[in-house]
């Protein structure tokens, strides 16, 4: 294990131990709080209908680090917005670590709308949407886009970051 690999593992372990949100994965389209509120309200109308075109505005970021080669690690955070450890680790890796060897692609905010809502599954559990998803699902475009990266021939390993709760019991 080289030093760069050790640093990556150390970042993941340390970041999972954080108990509060220190760093928040932000969409590249920086939005003020009132802008975010108005955009969120346009996704679901008063009748509860979902406009997936507006949901696409909350698309995820892909950050490529290291050497562009045929040996890529894909790290995905925030498939569920109520698991801050997942998107915090991905954010820390994308902003505070330099890749010394190889290629790392980081998606810190896969389900960005779920992060904003601080909810597990505003439109159903995204974890369950990869095998079979109807085209009218509000998250169809997001899932199809991440699937393109997952099946990319240069991607050799995928890490889907989650955050557990209810397991740590201090003495």
- φ, ψ dihedrals at 137, nearest 5°: -65, 135
**pLDDT by residue (tens digit) across 47-65?**
655 565 667 777 898 999 9
Q: Residue 105: enclosing H or E segment and its boundaries?
A: strand 103-107
Tokens of 147: 């699937």
Does residue 74 lie in a domain region? yes
Residue 38 lies in a domain: no
Residue 97 has pLDDT above 80, yes or no: yes
CA dist 79 → 3, 18, 24, 46, 68 (Å): 29, 19, 14, 26, 25
Which of the pair, 72 or 164, is modelled with greater confidence?
A: 72
Rounded to an integer, what distance in angstroms lies between the CA atom of residue 153 and that of residue 72? Answer: 9
Q: Take residue 118 and report the two structure tokens written for it.
A: 């601080």
Tokens of 18: 């954080």
Q: Which domain covers residue 128, as residue numbers? A: 1-15+60-163
In a domain, 105, yes or no: yes
Q: What is the CATH number of the domain that holds 5?
A: 3.40.630.10
Tokens (6 digits) for 63: 């950050």
- The per-residue pLDDT for 140 is 92
- Are 133 and 140 in contact by the 8 Å Cβ rule? The answer is yes
Residue among 55, 65, 64, 60 at smallest CA distance from 77: 60
Dist CA 61 CA 28 (whole Å):
7
Instruction: Give domain status of residue 7, yes or no.
Output: yes
Residue 23 pLDDT = 31
Most confident of 8-12, 55-59, 112-116: 112-116
- pLDDT value of position 31: 36
Q: Is residue 34 part of a domain?
A: no
pLDDT of residue 47: 61
Q: Tell whether 33 is covered by a domain.
A: no
- Count structural domains, the chain: 1
């Amino acid at each position: 294990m080289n030093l760069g690999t050790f640093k990556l593992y150390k970042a993941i372990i340390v970041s999972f131990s954080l108990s509060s949100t220190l760093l928040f994965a932000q969409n590249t389209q920086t939005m003020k709080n009132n802008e975010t509120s108005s955009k969120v309200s346009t996704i679901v109308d008063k009748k509860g209908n979902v406009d997936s075109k507006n949901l696409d505005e909350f698309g995820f970021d892909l950050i490529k680090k290291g050497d562009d080669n045929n040996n890529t690690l894909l790290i995905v955070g925030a498939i569920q917005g109520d698991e801050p450890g997942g998107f915090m680790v991905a954010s820390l890796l994308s902003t505070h670590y330099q890749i010394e060897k190889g290629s790392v692609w980081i998606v810190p905010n896969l389900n960005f709308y779920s992060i904003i809502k601080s909810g597990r599954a505003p439109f159903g559990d995204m974890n369950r949407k990869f095998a079979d998803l109807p085209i009218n699902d509000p998250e169809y475009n997001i899932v199809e886009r991440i699937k393109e990266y997952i099946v990319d021939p240069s991607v050799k390993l995928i890490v889907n970051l989650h955050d557990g709760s209810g397991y740590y019991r201090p003495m």
